[in-house]
């Protein structure tokens, strides 16, 4: 099955799910009507709202996923953002209603059996009406929360400034500041103008070295000129800027063009390769891996990245302090085996939906897919930092803010 067909089927399934959940919500809303006429009005108003919220799904079923070129931000506000809010709400509601249905099944069977034995009627209408009214709180809260998540994903990034004590790190390189930008996803949700504004903010904070860890373009090379125009504004620090590739750069169909663009900006591309960066009397090795998820069958499992990590580090001076750039954080395991002091990754977007307990522990949607989701990790004296990304392909974040990181190593 082709990818384009799979996407269309996926959206068709979403439409069916949305219809099933929507039917239930419309019934709940109708309960607010005082008489038959007002109930009918509420019904048609709800149906109209449902149709509006699903227009984008129909568009994707007909046209496929790839949007051509720039979509005006206004159209996003009107169609896509409410669609995303409903999408998340309908999927979450479907999960809750299914769970409730399964849990309540024995009780409902018992009630049915009792009614059959005694000839008793179903629960009275007032109680049902009250329950239906109360149930509307669920989609209402979900839509509001999703709306907040959309606003948060589009808002400015948070600064994260960890200080990492790396093993066998030369004294002369202590205090080196590495700026990490990851996952800008220049595209519909990160137009060039917005990215340029964020770059102006990044320029305000000084650093010694800069890294960009993939997913530069979201899904269409039509965004490349805007991306280049924005990135021309980026100030490159004294010890250089280094780039590795991400899966979306392949998905967009132009990893070569993207990497050429980055080279034109004066950045160094590390693709299953490494460079030696002299700093005073010391030197740092900056290695980086390729991530051809869309062309070479490299999936989510870290061990598939091992050959790339091995290739990137082949022939390096094993005594020299080394930094590894890897879009996918699972490359860390192999990098740590090689004694790489610091691996810098992105890709996960912090799981997009995360919840932190007061004690500091965080659970996120990313835990279902990734071993390493956000922030610092340590293994055998090696460090990994997973950046939550500055942009998105799914424009909703809760508890996982957009991020730019400035790491001070010592």
User: Using CB under 5 A as the criterion, which residues of the chain lie in contact with Fe ion when the complex forms?
Assistant: 183, 215
CB of 383 to Fe ion, least distance (A): 21
Residue 33 or 375: the one with the smaller Cβ distance to Fe ion is 375
Backbone angles phi, psi at 32, to 5 degrees: -80, -10
CB of 327 to Fe ion, least distance (A): 8
Residue 183 or 208: the one with the smaller Cβ distance to Fe ion is 183
Residue 199 or 409: the one with the smaller Cβ distance to Fe ion is 199
Cα–Cα distance list, 202 to 50, 99, 163, 407 (Å): 41, 45, 18, 14
Q: Are 362 and 384 in contact (CB under 8 A)?
A: no
Pick from 32, 152, 132, 33: nearest CA to 85? 152
CB of 177 to Fe ion, least distance (A): 24
CB of 274 to Fe ion, least distance (A): 23
CB of 262 to Fe ion, least distance (A): 16
Residue 215 or 226: the one with the smaller Cβ distance to Fe ion is 215
Distance in angstroms (rounded) separating the CA atoms of residues 324 and 383: 10
Residue 166 or 390: the one with the smaller Cβ distance to Fe ion is 390
Cα–Cα distance list, 99 to 19, 22, 105 (Å): 18, 17, 10
Residue 219 or 362: the one with the smaller Cβ distance to Fe ion is 219
CB of 111 to Fe ion, least distance (A): 49
Residue 50 or 189: the one with the smaller Cβ distance to Fe ion is 189
Radius of gyration of the chain (CA): 25
Pick from 397, 398, 383: nearest CA to 329? 383
Residue 80 or 212: the one with the smaller Cβ distance to Fe ion is 212
CB of 238 to Fe ion, least distance (A): 28
CB of 348 to Fe ion, least distance (A): 8
Pick from 216, 305, 294: nearest CA to 251? 294
């Amino acid at each position: 099955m082709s990818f384009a067909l799979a996407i269309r089927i996926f959206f068709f399934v979403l439409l069916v799910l949305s219809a099933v959940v929507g039917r239930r919500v419309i019934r709940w809303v109708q309960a607010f009507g005082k008489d038959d006429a007002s109930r009918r009005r509420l019904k048609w108003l709800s149906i109209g709202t449902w149709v509006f919220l699903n227009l984008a799904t129909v568009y994707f079923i007909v046209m496929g996923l790839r949007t051509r070129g720039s979509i005006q931000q206004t159209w996003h506000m009107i169609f896509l953002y409410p669609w995303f809010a409903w999408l998340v709400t309908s999927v979450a509601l479907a999960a809750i209603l299914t769970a409730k249905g399964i849990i309540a099944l024995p009780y409902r069977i018992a009630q049915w059996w009792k009614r059959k034995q005694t000839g008793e009627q179903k629960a009275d209408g007032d109680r049902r009406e009250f329950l239906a009214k109360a149930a509307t709180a669920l989609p209402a809260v979900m839509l509001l929360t999703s709306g907040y998540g959309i606003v948060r994903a589009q808002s400015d990034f948070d600064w994260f400034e960890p200080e990492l004590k790396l093993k066998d790190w030369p004294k002369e390189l202590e205090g080196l500041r590495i700026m990490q930008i990851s996952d800008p996803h220049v595209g519909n949700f990160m137009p060039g103008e917005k990215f340029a504004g964020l770059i102006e903010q990044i320029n305000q904070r000084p650093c010694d070295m800069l890294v960009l860890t993939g997913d530069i373009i979201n899904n269409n090379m039509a965004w490349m000129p805007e991306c280049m125009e924005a990135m021309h504004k980026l100030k490159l620090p004294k010890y250089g800027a280094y780039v590795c590739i991400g899966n979306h750069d392949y998905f967009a169909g132009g990893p070569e063009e993207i990497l050429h663009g980055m080279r034109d900006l004066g950045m160094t591309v590390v693709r299953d390769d490494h460079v030696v960066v002299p700093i005073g009397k010391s030197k740092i090795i900056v290695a980086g891996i390729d991530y051809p998820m869309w062309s070479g069958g490299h999936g989510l499992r870290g061990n598939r990245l091992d050959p790339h990590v091995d290739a990137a580090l082949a022939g390096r001076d094993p005594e020299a302090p080394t930094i590894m750039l890897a879009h996918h954080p699972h490359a860390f395991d192999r990098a740590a085996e090689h004694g790489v002091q610091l691996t810098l990754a992105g890709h996960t977007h912090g799981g997009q939906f995360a919840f932190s307990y007061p004690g500091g522990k965080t659970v996120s949607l990313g835990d279902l897919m990734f071993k390493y989701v956000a922030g610092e990790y340590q293994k055998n004296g090696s460090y990994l930092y997973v950046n939550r990304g500055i942009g998105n392909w799914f424009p909703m974040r809760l508890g996982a803010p957009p991020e730019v990181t400035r790491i001070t190593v010592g």
